[in-house]
Amino acid sequence: MPKITNKTINYKLKATNQADKLILIDDASDLQLPSIEKVTDTLKGSGIMGEVDLPIFGQVGSMTFTVNNRADNPQYAILSRPGEIKFEVVWAVDIFDSTQTKIGIQQHKVFMSGANKKYDMGKIEVGAGTDGSSEFEIYYLRKIVDGKEILLIDKFNYKYVVNGEDYQAALRTALQ
C-alpha cells in the first residue's frame, strides 16, 4: 500500500518586500494556490458528434493565487504594490505509511512569481476580524515535494514540466 496523505499540519508564507527580500508574512488565515486550467477551443463539424472543447497543447489560462488574512497590517499593504512579487509557500502534511503502520511528515514547497491584481482591506466590524484578501496573477510556479520538483510552469519561457518531463521542449525548438 502507498503512503496516504492526510492533512496540512502548518504552513509559512514568504513574499518579497520593496527591497526584493523574502520576508515572513504571518497572520494569514488561509491560502488558495493557483488552479491550472488549460486554454481551450471548441471543435465541431464533420467527423465529430457535437462539440469537443479541446485544450490547446501546453497552454495555461490565468493562474490566481489568493492570500486571505484575519487583519489588515503593514505586511499586506506591501503586497498591494505594483510590479513583480515573489512568493515562497512551505507546508507540512502528515502521511500514513500503511506498510509500516507509521505516521510521518511530508514537506511541500511552492515558489511563485506574479503581480498583485486585487487588494481587499476587509470589513471593519466591532468584535470581528477584518477578513481581507489579496489576489495575484501568477506567471511562474514551481512545486517541490520532499525535495523533488514535480511541477514547473514558466509562462514567459515556454516551460511546462511535470515530474521531469518538459512538455514544451518541442515547441521551444519549433519556434527557433
Instruction: Answer yes or no: are the C-beta atoms of 44 and 53 closer than 8 Å.
Output: no
Arithmetic mean of pLDDT over the chain: 92
Most confident of 48-57, 82-91, 93-102: 82-91
pLDDT tens-digit map of 117-170: 999 998 988 988 888 899 999 999 999 999 999 999 999 999 999 999 999 999
Integer angstrom CA distances of residue 21 from 85, 105, 132, 168, 169: 10, 28, 24, 31, 32
Gap between the Cα atoms of 174 and 159, Å rounded: 14
Query: For residue 157, what pLDDT is reported?
Result: 94
Q: In the structure, what pLDDT confidence band is assigned to residue 29 with cuts at 50, 70 and 90?
A: confident
68's grid cell: 486571505
- The confidence score (pLDDT) of residue 5 equals 85
DSSP letter assigned to residue 33: P
Q: Cα(102)–Cα(175) distance, rounded to whole angstroms? A: 50
Domains and CATH numbers, the chain: 3-40+61-174 (2.30.110)
C-alpha cell at 138: 501568477
Confidence (pTM):
0.90
Q: What is the pLDDT of residue 1?
A: 57
The residues near 43 (Cβ < 8 Å, ≥ 6 apart) are 51, 52, 53, 54
Cα separation, 169 vs 1, in Å, equals 35
Bridge partners, 137 (sequence order):
64, 115
Q: How far apart, in whole angstroms, are the C-alpha atoms of residue 83 and residue 136?
A: 11
Query: CA-CA distance, 124 to 164, in Å (whole number)?
Result: 47
DSSP string covering 95-107: EEETTTTEEEEEE
Q: Which amino acid is at 149?
A: E
Mean pLDDT of 86-101: 89
Please check the confidence at residue 2 and state whether its pLDDT lies above 80.
Answer: no
The answer on pLDDT for 95 being more than 80 is: yes
